[in-house]
Structures are given as C-alpha cells and as structure tokens.
Amino acid sequence: MEAKPHKRLEAWRRSVDLVVAVYEATRRFPEEERFGLASQIQRAAVSVPSNIAEGAARGSNRFFTNALHIARGSLNELDTQLIIAHRLGYISEHAVKGLTVRMGEVDRLLNGLIASVRRKAAAALTCIALLLGTVGWLL
C-alpha cells in the first residue's frame, strides 16, 4: 500500500510529536480537569496533525491551504489553553516553554508549507495561462 501523502510531511510528523508531548503534560492535571481544560488542550493538539492529514488527502491546493490555516488556528488555541492551564497551576512554566518551542517549530513548518502550496498553485496557473495564450495565438 502506498504511503499516505501527509506522512511524508515534516509538519505532520512534528505535530504528532507535539500531540504526544501534550498528552504527557496533561496526564498530570487534576482529576476534575480530565473532561475540562485537559480535554480541550488535547483536542486542540490532535486537531493540528488531523487537519494536515485531511488537507493533504483532498488533492486540492485550495482545500489543503485552508486546512493548513485551520491547523495554525488550532496551534493558537493550544497556546492560549496552555497559558490558562499554567495560570491555574496545572502545568509548570518549564513544561509550557517546552511545548511552546515545539509549537513554534510546527508553526514555522506550516508557514513554509502554506507558502510552498501557494507557489505551486501560482506556477500551475501561470502554465495554464501560457498554454491558453499559445492556443489563442494559434487560432
């Protein structure tokens, strides 16, 4: 079976690593937060690689770019939720800093991937325009 397209993406691999780190960090949250903030943090983290995978599978540059933007939004949700968890005393500053470094890496990779997809889409449109111009000239 052929490898899924998202599995070749470094942004996806790093975001899966981030999910694992988030689950390890939220494991120490108070029991009463298991279905509250801990669950929200976990869902925001899981949303990042999930959106990358869904976007990569759709085969449309427009949909892929949109999915990557949604993944970036989930990273910002995660950042906010970690700040709240820290202020409530559920997670140490050291743990937040470690997760923030990982989130920064994923964010940079997402930004690069968005730019790359946009460049490829623009190049494809340029080729189409050139072909149409050539065909029009021949007519």
- Note the pTM of the prediction, 2 decimals: 0.85
- Model pLDDT for residues 59-108, shown as the tens digit of each residue: 788 999 999 999 999 999 999 999 999 999 999 999 999 999 999 999 99
What letter does residue 91 receive in the DSSP assignment? S
- Model pLDDT for residues 17-69, shown as the tens digit of each residue: 999 999 999 999 999 998 999 999 999 999 999 999 999 998 788 999 999 99
> Please, what are the domains in the chain?
5-138 (1.20.1440.60)
Residue with tokens 């623009």: 122
* Cα→Cα distances 18→2, 63, 139, Å: 25, 24, 56
